[in-house]
Homo-oligomer: A and B are copies of this chain.
């Protein structure tokens, strides 16, 4: 079948970096790439918790075998020095990166949803330094590799934004601002790279149930359950499929911008709950 088999073909042999791969969407994305192109793929999975990344590598190996080489790398994207040394420190056979998935994200120490003027300076810093500046730094680290290729350069930059970057909501001011910045950066970058084959792809999910983020964001599982009660959120796999689909298009096709909702949601604050 054309669409599916063509995609497999196109992804074969690619080297892919995924940040924030130790849980949630990043984790699922690594697996989805592996499943789609199980015979020949290199996956660099990065995050701060290497133990989780090792577990991910193990699971992928068990599921698809040795065709996919997985390289776990400890990386804090909010640290510009670590980002700078990221590529030079990769084993040579992993340096020729084709796809960067900018997915890492840290909501700060925030427990519950904070409003001005009660947002701590530290949370503001974490939010921008991870979600926005970290993403910009990762992009700048990888672009030189892309630009060395012919036709002005080739490669994919896939930025995971959020519906929060499209429509601001009360209680989300800094997260919304950090994600609006990502969206703006994606657009500017796409324009800067117009004479090349580099694709800049932004994907903006609505509510996704990511076990780790829930606990971190809402403090405990029971609070998280309350948030999702009566709703059926997206799964990380749903987003991973959109990411792999975008990466798997013909080179001339740039799925520049995608917004994905679960069925019960139509804006950051418009959710329908089943009673």
A contacts, CB < 8 Å to B: 1-4, 7-8, 32, 35-36, 80, 115-119, 121, 124-125, 128, 132-133, 136-137, 139-141, 143-144, 147, 165, 167-174, 176-192, 194-195, 197, 199, 232, 234, 238, 241-242, 244-245, 249-267, 269-272
Is the Cβ of A183 less than 8 Å from the Cβ of B180? yes
Assembly CA distance A197 to B232 (angstroms) = 12
**Could you tell me the distance between the alpha carbons of A274 and B133 in the complex, rounded to whole angstroms?**
33
Name the CB-closest residue of B to A197: B263
Copies of this chain per assembly: 4
30 contacts between A and B (CB under 8 A): A1-B35, A1-B36, A4-B7, A116-B136, A116-B139, A116-B143, A117-B143, A119-B140, A125-B133, A128-B132, A128-B181, A136-B174, A167-B167, A167-B187, A171-B188, A171-B192, A173-B189, A173-B192, A176-B187, A177-B184, A180-B184, A194-B265, A194-B266, A195-B264, A234-B253, A252-B262, A253-B260, A254-B260, A254-B261, A255-B258
Query: Given A184-B168, A238-B249, A253-B260, do A35 and B192 touch, yes or no (CB 8 Å)?
Result: no
| Docked CA distance A136–B175 (Å) | 12
In the assembled complex, the CB of A154 is this many whole angstroms from the nearest CB of chain B, namely: 9
Check B128 against A140 for contact (C-beta < 8 Å).
no
A-B contacts besides A117-B139, A117-B141, A194-B264, 15 pairs, CB < 8 Å: A4-B7, A124-B136, A128-B133, A136-B174, A168-B185, A169-B191, A171-B192, A176-B187, A180-B181, A190-B261, A191-B267, A195-B264, A197-B263, A234-B253, A245-B245
Closest CB in chain B relative to A143 CB, distance in Å: 4
